[in-house]
Amino acid sequence: MAKSYYDPADLRKFGKITEWSEELGTKFFDYYGKVFEEGALSAREKSLIALAVAHVVKCPYCIDAYTKDGLQKGITKEEMMEAVHAGAAIESGATLVHGVQMMNKYDKLSM
């Protein structure tokens, strides 16, 4: 058993989750594969969305995977960083928009 919570080599073993629940694992990977196919959005656009979300949910495996995927798709580092900022802006916006709730509550409680 590893002494740390995250081991980069574990990413290679992701597929093994199917071994302990074949039906759900298979359904998940089928769905996952389908999602990232070329559709109304290009596979390239989806890769950038995935990279932004990977940062927002702070998944180190996903960050490794979608940085590599971006490189494979010829996505530039400028595009990747802008995607990360888009994610970060939504995340900080989500915090700040709660400031309105704070303001509302403050006003309600104050004379």
Partner 1 sequence: MATKSLKARHNGLAEKNEQLKILNGGIFEEGELPYFKDKIALTGHYPLRPKKLEVFQINLGYMCNQVCEHCHVDAGPDRKEIMTRETMQYCLDVIRNTGAHTLDLTGGAPEMNPDFRWFVEEAAKAGIQDFIVRSNLTIIRANKKYHDLPEFFKRHNVHVVSSMPHYTRGKTDKQRGDGVFDKSIKALQELNAVGYGLPDSELKLDLVYNPSGAFLPGDQVAMEKDFKKALKEDFDIQFHNLFAITNLPISRFLDYLIASDNYEDYMYALVEAYNPSAVENVMCTNTISVSWDGWLYDCDFNQMLELKVDSKIKHIKDYNEDILNDRDIIISQHCYGCTAGAGSSCQGTVA
User: What's the min distance (Å) between Cβ of 97 and partner 1?
Assistant: 36
Contacts (CB under 8 A) with partner 1, residues 5-24:
12
Q: Is residue 44 a contact point for partner 1 (CB under 8 A)? A: yes
Alpha helices in 1-111 (DSSP H): 17-20, 22-35, 43-56, 60-72, 77-109
What type of residue sits at position 62? Answer: C
Secondary structure (3-state) at 73 = coil
Does 71 participate in binding partner 1 (rule CB under 8 A)? yes
Complex with partner 1: residue 71 or 103, whichever CB lies closer: 71
Q: How far is the CB of 1 from partner 1 (least distance, A)?
A: 19
Q: Which is nearer to partner 1, 56 or 65 (CB)?
A: 65
Q: Which stretch binds partner 1 (CB under 8 A): 24-32, 42-50, 53-61, 103-111?
A: 42-50
Return the structure tokens found at 99: 């400031």
Candidates 4, 19, 40, 72: give the one binding partner 1 (CB under 8 A): 72
User: Is residue 110 within 8 Å of residue 103, measured between CB atoms?
Assistant: no
Spatial distance between the Cα atoms of 95 and 91, rounded to a whole number of angstroms: 7
Place of tokens 């409680």: 109
Taking the complex as a whole, the smallest distance from the CB of residue 19 to partner 1 amounts, in Å, to: 17
